[in-house]
Structure 1
Amino acid sequence: MAPNLHQLKSTQTRSRLLEAAMEILQTKGYGQLSIHEVARVAHMTTGAVQHHFGSKAALMMEVLAHLIDRLDKENSFWPPAQWPARERADHFVEQAWKQLYGQPRFAAAWSAYLAARDDPVMTAHIIERRAQLSERLTQRMLGSFPELRRERDSVAHVNFILSCLRGLGLQGPFAPSDVIDAQLKVLSQTIQSFLTTPETHS
């Protein structure tokens, strides 16, 4: 069923607000991001922002979801499964850090999540939304790294990789770049070890 005019308008408004939020993050930083500022940049009312997102934490969750939507459609982000294991692992780690986890907005989003952790309704929403995003990332990773499907705990392997990237993303603002780079290299090597078949060791 095709969306009606109201649904189309709502989708357009939501997209406009997300673009305004990302513009603020990129040009002014997390400290300037607020419901009021998003409304001002989008030339809309604060009521419109609150209607679509409810809180700053919910807004940041959707900003990350919006970015992941873009990466999901960006084929250059995901290495082809036919590439050698080392090339795929290096490419994925580099792009994941460059385009998502190493961006200031990633740490900013988690700051908003942690600030909302005492709100059970918001926490439940974030958990649910993150589970959806994690599932999408997992399926794309298994497409780029089909060897992981051989592992009985393939999803746990993927979640471990993503957790490492999230941890580095939170550490990033407080660590020298060479320290982060060294850990990203180790992560790539770890991914490669996951892709190695038992026969390779014999």
Structure 2
Amino acid sequence: MNLSETDNHSPTGSGQRRTQVARRAETRARLIDATILLLHKKGAAKMTTEEVAKAAGVTRGAIQYHFASPQELLKATVKEISNRLSKHMDVGKLRKLPLSDRIDRVVDQYWKGWGSNVYTAFVEMAVGNRLDPVLGQAIREVLVELEDKRRSSWLEIFSDSVRSTEEILVWRTTLLAALRGLALSRMLSGGKDTGDAQINQFKEMFRLYLDPSA
């Protein structure tokens, strides 16, 4: 075995490669975080790649290195937003709670996601790029994936309800439409407490629907 072969497989070389990979991942994450922040603060129409780079603390060349185009950066941002909005609900722990507590936890988690800056960024991106066929398709794919994940979890969490699977999913669709509307109202009004009273009403309605005997 010669020295060059030994050096190529040395722990130091491996560690350097891992460090480079970690740095690249960190820079990419910073660019995506900066994009989400600017989408929330300025909207898609006014955001520029120069501002994204500045907010991330990198050069514009870093964006070009990590993403083939601005659209690719936005597509990556869509995926990250999806991951944040679809944080895993611990079905096992939730199933151990009384039905009323489960409803509180699930509705609160949905509302926390849609009332966040992350959802504002998503709306800005979806509206600002609705005429872009490539990005529009990426957004639709993310939405389908997000819905599939949460639909399955929802059915598991409320599987002991007296309602049928179809009835539970219909109510879920109704609730989500209402929450999205409240989230948009909060965005437009700028009031942090907008929708809180309605959330409590939704919870009570949901309790009566899932367990009429309660």
Q: Same fold (TM over 0.5)?
A: yes
Question: 8 Å contact 1:89–1:192 — kept in the other structure?
Answer: yes
Instruction: Provide the aligned length of Structure 1 versus Structure 2.
Output: 190
Q: What's 1:126 paired with?
A: 139
Q: Work out whether 1:90 is the aligned partner of 2:100.
A: no
What's the Cα RMSD here?
Answer: 3.7
- Counterpart AA for 1:190: M
Question: 8 Å contact 1:60–1:112 — kept in the other structure?
Answer: no
Q: What's 1:36 paired with?
A: 50
Q: What's 1:186 paired with?
A: 201
Aligned-residue sequence identity (percent) comes to 22
In structure 2, relative to structure 1, the CA distance for the partners of 1:14 and 1:195 (3 Å cut) is farther
Question: 8 Å contact 1:79–1:91 — kept in the other structure?
Answer: no
The Cα offsets for residues 134-163 of structure 1, whole Å up to 9 and x where unpaired, read as: 111222222322246733344333233222
Unaligned runs of 5+ in 1: none
Question: 8 Å contact 1:79–1:92 — kept in the other structure?
Answer: no
Q: Work out whether 1:140 is the aligned partner of 2:157.
A: no
Map of 1:18-167 to 2, 5 A cutoff? 18-22=32-36, 29-31=41-43, 34-42=48-56, 43-44=58-59, 45=61, 46-48=63-65, 50-51=67-68, 54=71, 58=75, 60-68=77-85, 71-72=87-88, 75=90, 80-98=94-112, 100-147=113-160, 150-167=164-181
Distance 1:89 1:126 in 2: 28
- Counterpart AA for 2:199: L
In structure 2, relative to structure 1, the CA distance for the partners of 1:61 and 1:151 (3 Å cut) is same
- Counterpart AA for 1:66: N
Determine which structure has the larger helix proportion and give its number. Answer: 1
Distance 2:119 2:141 in 1: 18
